Amino acid sequence: MTETESIVYDVVVVGAGPVGENVADRTRAAGLSTAIVEDELVGGECSYWACMPSKALLRPVIARADARRLPGLSQAVRGPLDAEAVLKRRDYMASDWKDDGQVQWLNGVGVDLHRGHGRLTGPRTVLVEGPDSSRTELTARHAVAVCTGTRAALPDLPGLAEVRPWTSREATSARRAPERLIVVGGGVVAVEMATAWQNLGSQVTMLVRGKGLLPRMEPFAGELIAQGLTEAGVDLRTGVSVTSVTREPAAGSGAPDTPAGGGNGTVVAVTDAGERIEAEEILFATGRAPKTDTIGLETVGLDPGSWLSVDDSMRVEGTDWLYAVGDVNHRALLTHQGKYQARIAGAAIAARASGGADEESAAWGAHAATADHGAVPQVVFTDPEA
């Protein structure tokens, strides 16, 4: 049986994306010993599968669109994008999916990195099971911060796993443009990835269950983006639901085409109207779910897989030691808002750890997150941008 090593810190952070990094940075700067746990890449979703690669894919599209509207320049940019060059720059912006630079930053600020899957085993205790089968028990004197973010939420369609659909991860890391791409959904990921891949050479068909795009924004924004997508060549269909999906294998099919999903053969999507639509790949951009199902919430009286409700200092309601920062608390699923919350949480943890005469007043008075209730800026990188 593998021996378990035990280490005590002031603060343990689970999840080393931008949110976890910012919590750890703030608590470490306050003089608290801090450990961070990560089972994938340090830097998280934003650095490798969301903000950075998606904007790298979209920047040439939007720059070309702007140039085409400028007299004196428009005729010079009429040709297609160089998809290979765009993807190469995307790889560079995603650090080729290597986290050496971010690990170096953690070392520079004095935060200990523990690689592996972290899960709570009780109050203030996190067990890390490493890729080499090692086991390390981390105990926090003051606080544990859950910063595990979200994952793509897929619909309950029979056989969907066998189809190997794209999620946001595959859509931002694919090595080539599929000849045909079906995009299911009408939210931010759907419209941004439809914009990117249509302009990189795919024929995109969008299947939107609702009446329009970007339902959380003013209707005119979705209308203008729908017009832009249609003008770019996207086959946009609203009021359509997908009832079944299958993948018909190609003769002599080989390895998947993308780093983390997709495959050879033809995807066949059938709609509620009985229409059959074929493509090489299908992207489901149908929402997000919290990555809290395997982190041991049940050991501290919370429901696995649930969003975590917090107060304005990001402390989980009903506890005096557990914090949930960023997407997992469902306040604002945006990186910049998560980093804002992380600065609040780090300061609140430090204030409470100081143990002053009125630590609760210090933590609440100076460190409370309020902008994420009603002042949440966001940009959708389409043509036009919203």
In sequence order, what are the beta bridge partners of 12?
35, 144
What pLDDT shows up at residue 258? 42
SS3 per-residue string spanning the chain: CCCEEEEEEEEEEECCCHHHHHHHHHHHHCCCCEEEEECCCCCHHHHHCCHHHHHHHHHHHHHHHHHHCCCCCHHHHCCCCCHHHHHHHHHHHCHHHCCHHHHHHHHHHCCEEEECEEEEEECCEEEEECCCCCEEEEEEEEEEEECCCEEECCCCCCCHHHHCCECHHHHHHCCCCCCEEEEECCCHHHHHHHHHHHHCCCEEEEEECCCCCCCCCCHHHHHHHHHHHHHHCCEEEECCCEEEEEEECCCCCCCCCECCECCCCEEEEEECCCCEEEECEEEECCCEEECCCCCCHHHHCCCCCCCCCECCCCEECCCCCEEECHHHHCCCCCHHHHHHHHHHHHHHHHHHHCCCCCHHHHHHHHCCCCHHHHCCCCCCCCCCCC
CATH code for the domain defined by 4-49+94-151+289-374: 3.50.50.60
Q: What is the mean pLDDT of the chain?
A: 93
For 15, 147, 148, 151, 324, the CA distances from 112, given in Å and listed in that order, are 13, 16, 17, 25, 20
In sequence order, what are the beta bridge partners of 315?
323
Say how far apart CA 149 and CA 17 lie, in whole Å.
Answer: 8
Supply the pTM of this predicted model: 0.92
Counting Cα atoms < 13 Å in the Cβ hemisphere of 85 gives 6
What pLDDT shows up at residue 373? 84
Confidence of residue 83 (pLDDT cuts 50, 70, 90): very high
Ordered by start, the domain boundaries in the chain are: 4-49+94-151+289-374, 155-286
Say how far apart CA 343 and CA 326 lie, in whole Å.
Answer: 11
Say how far apart CA 140 and CA 263 lie, in whole Å.
Answer: 44
What pLDDT shows up at residue 158? 85
What pLDDT shows up at residue 383? 96
Q: CATH homologous superfamily of domain 155-286?
A: FAD/NAD(P)-binding domain (3.50.50.60)
For 153, 327, 336, the CA distances from 308, given in Å and listed in that order, are 17, 9, 19
Say how far apart CA 234 and CA 319 lie, in whole Å.
Answer: 49
Q: In what order do the strands lie in the sheet with 242-248?
A: 242-248, 266-271, 276-279
Common-topology check for domains 4-49+94-151+289-374 and 155-286: yes
Inter-residue contact 121 to 140 (CB < 8 Å): no
Say how far apart CA 386 and CA 224 lie, in whole Å.
Answer: 9
Say how far apart CA 132 and CA 139 lie, in whole Å.
Answer: 21
Confidence of residue 366 (pLDDT cuts 50, 70, 90): confident
Inter-residue contact 289 to 112 (CB < 8 Å): no
Residue 90 pLDDT exceeds 90:
yes
Say how far apart CA 81 and CA 355 lie, in whole Å.
Answer: 59
Of the candidates 301, 375, 311, the residue with the CA atom closest to the CA atom of residue 349: 311
Mean pLDDT of 248-267: 63
What pLDDT shows up at residue 364? 57
How deeply is 235 buried, as exposed, middle or buried, from its count of CB atoms within 10 A (0-12, 13-18, 19+)? middle
pLDDT digits (tens, 9 = 90+) for 286-319: 999 999 999 999 999 999 999 999 999 999 999 9
Torsion of the alpha carbons at 84, 187, 156 and 16, rounded to the nearest 10: 70
In sequence order, what are the beta bridge partners of 144?
12, 322
Inter-residue contact 270 to 160 (CB < 8 Å): no
Q: Is-cis flag, bond preceding 384, omega within 30?
A: yes
Say how far apart CA 296 and CA 299 lie, in whole Å.
Answer: 6
The tokens describing 73, both together, are 């320049």
Residue 115 pLDDT exceeds 50:
yes
pLDDT digits (tens, 9 = 90+) for 148-165: 999 999 999 988 999 999
